[in-house]
Structure 1
Amino acid sequence: MADSLLSKLGELTFTAKEQDAVVVTLDAVAIPAEDFACSLGIYEISPNFFLIAFASPANRTNVLKRGPWDFQKYWFALEQADPNRTIHDYSFQHMCIWVHIHNIPLSLMTAALARALGASVGKVIMTDTRLEDGNMGEFMRVRVSFDTSKLLRRCVVLSRPDAKASLCPLQYERLPLFCHGCGLIGYSVLACPTTPKVEGQKFQYGAWLRTPLPKRSASWTTLCCWRRYGCS
């Protein structure tokens, strides 16, 4: 609603009185920061848009770091709430997710390579090459923020001067509902507007893009904004 009203106002010429600014001080009109951050609860402030309050900043940070979160396979897009932003300032377009990068030579299992390959998927947040006790594992693990309006990436190609280029498959932790036909997050192939419904069709994407579901802590880990995707 606000967007449509603002677009209408953008076409108008204002009177001098309409252009007079109302000057306020934050301590006079704003919700106190401690109340804004720590009032427990979930509040729906517009359709599919919720304000979630946690008990402490640490709990909120824990939730944001451990995402993505989903309910009945639908993704909850989370962003840290900012008291100076309106609900229309949130895009909920980027998802932070852990990505597994497979088929990496053991000698190249480094954080530097994880960052380089992860950058082809999205903005790298952190890396985890699991080097404890000399155990490099079967894959590299990197957390990225990527644009959910783009197709899921299924692999990266590792090219180096001393060997043949190798194909490195990708898998995603806690990957929410996505289309096996078009590769976009937010709906299944049955609801896809572009994938033909043909019996026996072979899809370019599949459940193999998901890693086995990790165990979740029962404790919720003051405040973030939330939107559920995949629903009308």
Structure 2
Amino acid sequence: MKNGPWNFNSHLLILHRLKEGEDPLIVQFHWVDFWMPIHDLPLGFIFETVAQQLGNFIGAFIEYDVLATQLGYKRIIRIRVRINVRKPLKRKKKRVLPNGESVYVRFEYEKITLFCFLCGKLGHGESFCPIRDHHPRQEYVFN
């Protein structure tokens, strides 16, 4: 459970450890914990409080990898976040520095499986995206 997320044939396996007395027929399999490197953090923003804010923006912050602090010189931190897999994944966030300058921090998802860059959701690729069904001839630009 702790070393996940797990996948089979490029499809995400969502696991849940049942608690005593929990009804397995009503368990919702919507949440997965991901380790995430966050890139392009401005110098001076590599703190656990910033990691918690970014983790809660992405999903629900779980943990800050203090052993990855050596990546700070590359402006990278690593966090563990619980994500609702029914929602699109977030790829970046704008941060405004004290001097008024705007920068974007980028999110990566470790051990990510089948992912659609059109709608941002897990479980299918661009070829099978419902968005493509509605606008089949449109050219898409990825940001």
Deviation, 1:163, is 4.0
Which amino acid in structure 1 is aligned with residue 111 of structure 2?
A: R
RMSD, aligned CA: 2.0
- Name the residue aligned to 1:107: 44
Question: Matched residue pairs, number?
Answer: 139
Cα shift readout 1:148-188 (whole Å, capped 9, x = no counterpart)? 11111010111232341211111110111121221111122
Of 173-182 and 103-112, the range deviating more from structure 2? 103-112
4+ residue segments displaced more than 6 Å: none
* 83, 90, 95: which one aligns with 1:153: 90
Structure 1: any 5+ residue segments left out of the alignment? 1-63, 206-232
TM norm structure 1? 0.55
Residue in structure 2 matching 1:125, options 62, 79, 84? 62
Cα distance, 1:111–1:90 mapped onto 2, change above 3 Å? same
1:66 match: 3
Separation in structure 1 between the aligned mates of residue 10 and residue 119 of structure 2, nearest angstrom: 17
Other-structure match for 1:136: 72
Match of 1:85 among 22, 45, 62: 22
Tell me whether 1:181 sits opposite 2:115 in the alignment.
no
From the CA coordinates, give the structure whose radius of gyration is larger: 1
Matched AA of 2:34: I
What residue identity is the alignment partner of 1:136?
Answer: G
135-144 vs 178-187, greater mean Cα deviation = 135-144
